[in-house]
Amino acid sequence: MSGYLCYFCPMNKPLAERVRPRNLDDYISQQHLVGPTGALSTQIKSGMLPSLILWGPPGTGKTTLAQIMAEESKRPFYTLSAINSGVKDIREVIEKAKKGEGLFTTKNPILFIDEIHRFSKSQQDSLLGAVEKGWVTLIGATTENPSFEVIPALLSRCQVYILKAFGKEDLVALLDRAMAKDDYLRKRQIELKETKALLRLSGGDGRKLLNIFELLVTSEAEDPVMITDELVLSKIQKNTVLYDKTGEQHYDIVSAFIKSIRGSDPNAAVYWLARMIEGGEDVKFIARRMLIAASEDIGLANPTALVMANTTFQAVTTIGYPEARIILSQCAIYLATSPKSNASYMAINRAQQVVKATGDLSVPLALRNAPTQLMKDLEYGKEYKYAHDHPNNFVDAEYMPDDLAGKSLYEPGNNPREEGIKTFLKNRWKDKYKL
């Protein structure tokens, strides 16, 4: 039997599209959302869907879930792609929804926007009125953190639901379901002898997994087709970097990257950076991790590191790959070769522990704001001493709650800059800061 598909027949649609689930019974994974006690189960069954954002890695069923929600709730479904839709397209859809014309034969259709994080602020702004007034129920899909990529006004009008990357069992279930459901695959004799390479190359992306699987099967002219790791790696060209952007390697490699920066090893930092870049890691994810490292691991030993990391984040967000790799490399080397201090990180940890242990201690009267006469009568701010009225713009006073008087939380690190801070504190607070 020939293993090659006819390029002029309907079955030539990609396998992922051919076996796309049409109802919740066929929908694999995301039981925390659509299982018996899932966060979305009741809303889907009742048809009372809120506007929402589906946030998760690529190929985890965001589009499929949106289509199922529309089908289950018996609502008209309209989709726009953030890649090729503008404000005009959005307004046209909203006007149809308001009038109930054409496609929208009932009120409150579902408007699905794929990759909503790619919409500009003005495009997202154009959705606000329709969502607020209930002309449409918005379902946005994104692979990016909505906190960074969706404007606050729109985000506040939507519920955010997180889709998880497919685990090994989910991915195998996808393959089993495809072999059982797809007309073409059912005619082939396929045996899954090994799946390790196949699952790793998919990176937890169900769509990618099915596309790779279809390529493997159609490349084998004779039955039976034995799926082995050797076959996978011999047929799939991009096999030099096995990097799972959503699984264990994702976290292990970025951990190695940050620890190399913390350990002042620029060679290792650039190596792990290259691993992430070659694996297709999100450029903003890498830049965000360096922002955190600049404060957590370098901090006041070199405050410019945070400025450098923030500039890097802004630059790579604008430029993107491939040129962004140069900027990332420059920043990684700069951070790795900077002096290190975790004093700010440790100080806020100690402060939070104190707050949890002591509760809501009263603000001393001298430090309270007194905008009204009543507050002044209650002696709010009465004994406050304005630092700028004293020599060297300093006055020895207590700024902690009474129960924590004299408590020390910040301990300067052993580096030239914080040695200067240590000297400053000793000169100002001779009794309080015995460092």
Specify the DSSP class assigned to residue 338. Answer: S
- Could you report the per-residue pLDDT of 332-379, keeping only the tens digit for each? 999 999 999 999 999 999 998 888 888 878 888 877 777 777 767 777
| pLDDT at residue 386 in the model | 81
Question: Is the model's pLDDT at 240 over the cut of 60?
Answer: no
Identify the architecture of domain 168-235 in CATH: Orthogonal Bundle (1.10)
pLDDT greater than 60 at residue 81 = yes
Q: Which residues contact 203 (CB under 8 A, 6 or more apart)?
A: 243, 244, 245, 246, 247
- The per-residue pLDDT for range 99-147, each reduced to its tens digit, is 764 444 455 888 999 889 888 888 888 889 889 888 889 999 998 888 8
User: Which is more confidently placed, 305 or 167?
Assistant: 305
- Give residue 12's pLDDT band: very low, low, confident or very high (50, 70, 90): low
**Rounded mean pLDDT of 194-220?**
87
Which class would CATH give 30-162?
A: alpha beta
Domain boundaries, the chain: 30-162, 168-235, 248-336, 357-428
What's the predicted TM-score (pTM) here? Answer: 0.57
Assigned fold of 248-336:
Zinc Finger, Delta Prime; domain 3 (1.20.272)
Q: Give the pLDDT confidence score for residue 203 in this predicted structure.
A: 76
Cα–Cα distances (Å) from 165 to 25, 117, 162, 171, 342, in that order, read 19, 19, 10, 10, 33
The residues with which 159 forms a beta bridge, in sequence order, are 52
Provide the pLDDT for residue 139.
94
Domain 168-235 shares a fold with domain 248-336: no
Pairing of the two strands 159-162 and 110-114: unpaired
pLDDT above 80 (res 271): yes
